[in-house]
Amino acid sequence: MIGGRATAGLGLGLAVAVLTGIAANAVARSHDPIVIEITIHYSHFSPDSVTVPAGQPVTFVITNSDPIDHEWIVGDAATHERHRTGTEPVHDARPTEITIPAETQKRTTVTFASGGSELFICHLPGHEAYGMVGTVAITR
């Protein structure tokens, strides 16, 4: 009798432990950054359109396969207007503005606060006109 109760208790305890683990894992996963990979080849972003949720960290892994440097700058219209005439040779101070040297990979994590859309652009001379523009659609 005692043996049966002990077995039942053990089973219940195991079930609770498993469920707790699953729940904890789910909570942890919900806080893991979403990873989006972007490749730069022949001075074009691929993909050039991504969708991310608002309020959740998103890690962009950007691989530059070109033999020239590129930038990945994401932001609103005012941000891009500022960079079109900017003179910073290298960007590494903000997660939304990074330089990816030739044939290297960079990671950056960004949390988009609100819904809507923003552009990511390479602002090195001539690169935007050549088509180095992409869109981030931010969903609520």
Partner 1 sequence: MRQRRFGRFGLGLSTAVLGLFLAVTPTLACGGLIGPNGAVNLLRTTTLAGYHDGIEHYVTAFQFAGGGGAFGSITPLPGIPTSVVKGGDWTLQRLIRETSPVQEFDGFRAAAVPAASAVELMKVKIDALDLTVLKGGAADIGAWARSHGFRLPPDAPEVLDFYAARSQIFLAAAFDADAAKVRGQQLGDGTPVHITIPTANPWVPLRILALGKAASETVQADVYLLTDRAPALLPAPTGSNGIRLDHSDAASASLLTDLHSDRGMDWVPSSAWLTKVAVDGTAGELGYDLAIDASGAGRPSAVDAGFTMPGAVIPAPPPDLARLLLAIGFVGLGLVGLAMIAHARPTSGRPIGW
Q: What mask, x for binding partner 1 by CB under 8 A, covers residues 81 to 120?
A: ---------------------xx-----------------
Residues 6+ apart with CB under 8 A from 16: none
Q: Of 37 and 69, which has the nearer Cβ to partner 1?
A: 69
Positions 6 through 65 that interact with partner 1 (CB under 8 A): 41-43
Distances (CA, A) of 124 to 24, 69, 80, 84, 132: 44, 9, 12, 8, 10
Least distance to partner 1 from the beta carbon of 36, Å? 23
Torsion-angle region of 16 (φ positive above 0: left; ψ -120 to 50: alpha; else: beta): alpha
Q: Is 132 in the site for partner 1 (CB under 8 A)?
A: yes
Q: Which residue in 33, 34, 53, 69 binds partner 1 (CB under 8 A)?
A: 69
Least distance to partner 1 from the beta carbon of 120, Å? 15
Cα angle 57, 59, 121 (rounded to 5 degrees) comes to 105
DSSP state of 33: P
DSSP state of 131: T
Q: Of 59 and 66, which has the nearer Cβ to partner 1?
A: 66
Binding site for partner 1 (CB under 8 A): 41-43, 66-69, 102-103, 122, 124-127, 129-130, 132
